[in-house]
C-alpha cells in the first residue's frame, strides 16, 4: 500500500466524513488546532529563551522546564490530535502540498533537536542548571527549537491557503 493509497483510505473513513461534511466539525477542529498552537509554541518558546539565557536567568533551567511542561504537554496534545483529525479529512490534498511536507520535515527536526537535548545536553544539567547563560549546546538547542516552530507556524498557514 503506497502513502497515497493510505491517504485515500483515510479520506474514506467516518472521521473524515465528520470533518468535511458536518456543519461545524471542520471549524471546531481548526479552532482547537489554533488554540493548541498558541498554547504549545507559546509556552515552549519560554523554555527556549531560558536556554538562550534571555529570561528568568536566576531560575534553574530544570525548574523552568518543570513549571512549563504541563502547559507544553497540553498544548502539543491539542495541536497534534486536532492536526491529525484535519489531516484525515484532507489527506490526499495535504500529501501533495509542498508546505505540508516542509511542515512535517521541520516538526521532525524539532523532535530530533528535543531528543538530542534530552539524551546528551540535559545529562550534564546538574553542572549548569543554575547558570544564567547555559552552555553552547543548550543555547543551540534553544535557537534551533525557536527557529523550527516559527517555520512550522508559517508553513502551516501557507499550507491552508494553497490546499483548499
Partner 1 sequence: MMDAALSWYQNTALASTVGSSPTLTAMLSALHALGFTFVMGGALFANLGRLGVLFPGRPVRDLTIPGSKLIALGLAFSLPTGLMLVAPRATAAGHNTFFGLKMLFLVLAAAVQFGLLRRDTRAIGAAGLALWLGLAAAACAFILLE
Q: Figure out which of the listed residues 31, 69, 115, 132 binds partner 1, where binding follows CB under 8 A.
A: 31
Using rule CB under 8 A, residue 41 touches partner 1: yes
Can you tell me whether residue 82 is helix, strand or coil? helix
Q: Given the rule CB under 8 A, which of 12-20, 113-121, 126-134, 154-162 is the region that contacts partner 1?
A: 154-162
Using rule CB under 8 A, residue 124 touches partner 1: no
| Three cell numbers, residue 74 | 497540553
Q: Given the rule CB under 8 A, which of 11-19, 58-66, 82-90, 127-135 is the region that contacts partner 1?
A: 58-66
Query: Nearest distance from residue 68's CB to partner 1, in Å?
Result: 7
Buried b (16+ CB within 10 A) or exposed e, 83-99: bebbbbbbbebbbebeb
Q: Figure out which of the listed residues 15, 18, 49, 147 binds partner 1, where binding follows CB under 8 A.
A: 49
Torsion sign, CA atoms 121, 127, 132, 133: negative
For partner 1, how many residues bind (rule: CB under 8 A)?
Answer: 35
Torsion sign, CA atoms 62, 66, 69, 71: negative
Using rule CB under 8 A, residue 62 touches partner 1: no
Using rule CB under 8 A, residue 109 touches partner 1: no
Q: Could you give the count of Cα atoms lying within 13 Å of 69 in the half-sphere of its Cβ?
A: 7
For the chain, how are helix, strand and coil distributed in percent, rounded to 5? 85, 0, 15
Using rule CB under 8 A, residue 153 touches partner 1: yes
Residues within the interface to partner 1 (CB under 8 A): 26-27, 30-31, 34-35, 37-39, 41-43, 45-46, 49, 54-56, 58-59, 63, 67-68, 71, 149-150, 153-158, 160-162
Amino acid at each position: 500500500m503506497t502513502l497515497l493509497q493510505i491517504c485515500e483510505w483515510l479520506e474514506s473513513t467516518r472521521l473524515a466524513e465528520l470533518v468535511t461534511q458536518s456543519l461545524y466539525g471542520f471549524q471546531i477542529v481548526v479552532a482547537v488546532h489554533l488554540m493548541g498552537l498558541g498554547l504549545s509554541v507559546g509556552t515552549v518558546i519560554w523554555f527556549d529563551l531560558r536556554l538562550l539565557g534571555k529570561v528568568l536567568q536566576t531560575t534553574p533551567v530544570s525548574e523552568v522546564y518543570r513549571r512549563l511542561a504541563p502547559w507544553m504537554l497540553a498544548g502539543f496534545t491539542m495541536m497534534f490530535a486536532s492536526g491529525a483529525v484535519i489531516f484525515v479529512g484532507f489527506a490526499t490534498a495535504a500529501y501533495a502540498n509542498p508546505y505540508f511536507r516542509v511542515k512535517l520535515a521541520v516538526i521532525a527536526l524539532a523532535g530530533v533537536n528535543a531528543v538530542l537535548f534530552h539524551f546528551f545536553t540535559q545529562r550534564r544539567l546538574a553542572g549548569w542548571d543554575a547558570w544564567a547563560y547555559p552552555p553552547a549546546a543548550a543555547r543551540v538547542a534553544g535557537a534551533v527549537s525557536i527557529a523550527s516552530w516559527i517555520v512550522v507556524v508559517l508553513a502551516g498557514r501557507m499550507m491552508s491557503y494553497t490546499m483548499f
